[in-house]
Structure 1
Amino acid sequence: MRIARRSLPALVLAAPALATTRGWVTTLRAGGFVLYMRHAITDRSQVDTGRLGDRAGQRNLSAAGVAQARALAEAMARLAIPLRPIRSSPVFRAVDTAQAMARGGPVDVTMELVADDYTTDVPGAIASARRAMGTSPPAGSNALLVGHIHVFGPAIFGRMLAQAEFPEGAFGMVAPEAGTPRFVQVIMPDAVMAAAA
């Protein structure tokens, strides 16, 4: 049964903490975290139909989004932050972002990270994303999950996040502790670019 976004749980945690220092770079180089990335910038003139596999019926990356995804991939590589595995929602804007981030490597496309507009079981989608964020990456690496704001917010904060709190291209840094994701901070796309400059 599909539920309206406004009927999801009320605020559980305060606003996401933002990365304010470059300490996150050193921390991520050691591995052990999950980065939940919101897909890159999209073309807001396009409308989602809820049909998986239909690119024309989805909101896709804009030219700015394609450039953003490539730039973030290059920045993470310059920062020597290991990203493995890379998993993605099956919605094209997420897959395209994940493929850019993978830089030619494998991407696991999974319904565990699907957008709320593309499932009839929104609570189940939120629960599966939370499980994915609670799964530890291989030693010495960080898992990269590419998904959607309306799954990340409820899975971690118990509420929807505002666009300004988790914009397109942002990373939610999560520590998977005993199978439960613990929120660490949000790393904004411009912070990644600045750190790699």
Structure 2
Amino acid sequence: MVHSYTRRMGVAGFLMLACSSSASAQEELIERMQHGETVVFLRHAETDYSQTDTGRLNDRAGQRNLSAAGRVQAQELGKAFSSLGIEFARILVSPVYRARDTAELAFGHGSLEVTMDLVADDYAGGALQETIAATGSLLATEPPEGTNLLLVGHRTPLEMVTGLDFPDTVLPEGALAIFDPIDEGTNLLGTVSADALIAAAGSQ
């Protein structure tokens, strides 16, 4: 299925969005989210790299958690989505604390669905391939008209699903990868940094 918005922008416009991180490209992606019908993959907010992951899901002390700056970043992201009128029909979240905390700080506890479908690769155990397949299915899920689907998760599984590289220069912590769900799979439109989204909200 090709959305009407996709047809209006044309192939060249979408190639520009997918390949460029310029300010104008990020502005167009923000407008695309405001229009809706995208899948937004939010990499968890900034973390404390002095902490080490153990692979134990329910052990907060044994995970790399959000830094103080990351907690503020998550709150600011939530305010930015609201200010910009970007609506999410569903918010699905990895159970790893840095992702779960990002979503809870941004959107509150009641609006989230915690799922192993988005768990970090080093927490998936023997179910990694099932997790990757589930993430791929979510990236191809079309949300209701005028809304988006938000997935809050981790970079490495996203790379495994898409076959694309997302270095920190492209998808730093707190950044968004925007997808257009289509019948054949997923179409990456581009990425938006946390700073760009927050700045766009501040200019409203």
Structural mapping, 1:5-24, within 5 Å: 17-18=20-21, 20-21=23-24, 22-24=27-29
Supply the RMSD in Å over aligned alpha carbons.
Answer: 1.7
Q: Normalization by structure 2: what TM-score?
A: 0.83
Which of 142, 148, 163 pairs up with 2:154? 148
* 1:72–1:101 CA contact under 8 A, matched in 2: yes
Q: SS where residue 139 of structure 1 aligns?
A: coil
Matched with 1:127 is 133
Matched with 1:48 is 53
Q: Give how far 1:176 is off.
A: 0.7
Report sequence identity in percent: 41
Query: Distance in 1 between the 2:41 and 2:71 partners?
Result: 18
Task: Evaluate the alpha carbon distance shift between residue 70 and residue 180 of structure 1 in structure 2; reply closer, same or farther with a 3 A threshold.
Answer: same
Q: SS where residue 129 of structure 1 aligns?
A: helix
Count residues in correspondence: 182
Q: SS where residue 173 of structure 1 aligns?
A: strand
More helix by share: 2
Q: Give how far 1:169 is off.
A: 0.2
101-110 or 85-94: which moved more? 101-110
* 1:16–1:165 CA contact under 8 A, matched in 2: no
Is 1:30 the counterpart of 2:50? The answer is no
| Structure 1: runs of 5 or more not aligned | 1-14
Q: Give how far 1:71 is off.
A: 0.5
| Structure 2: runs of 5 or more not aligned | 1-17
Q: Normalization by structure 1: what TM-score?
A: 0.86
Which letter does structure 2 place at the counterpart of 1:34? V
Matched with 1:137 is 143
Q: Give how far 1:26 is off.
A: 2.4
Matched with 2:169 is 164
Is 1:176 the counterpart of 2:181? The answer is yes
Query: Distance in 1 between the 2:123 and 2:62 partners?
Result: 11
Structural mapping, 1:39-78, within 5 Å: 39-78=44-83
Q: SS where residue 191 of structure 1 aligns?
A: helix
Q: SS where residue 117 of structure 2 aligns?
A: helix
* 2:132–2:157 CA contact under 8 A, matched in 1: yes
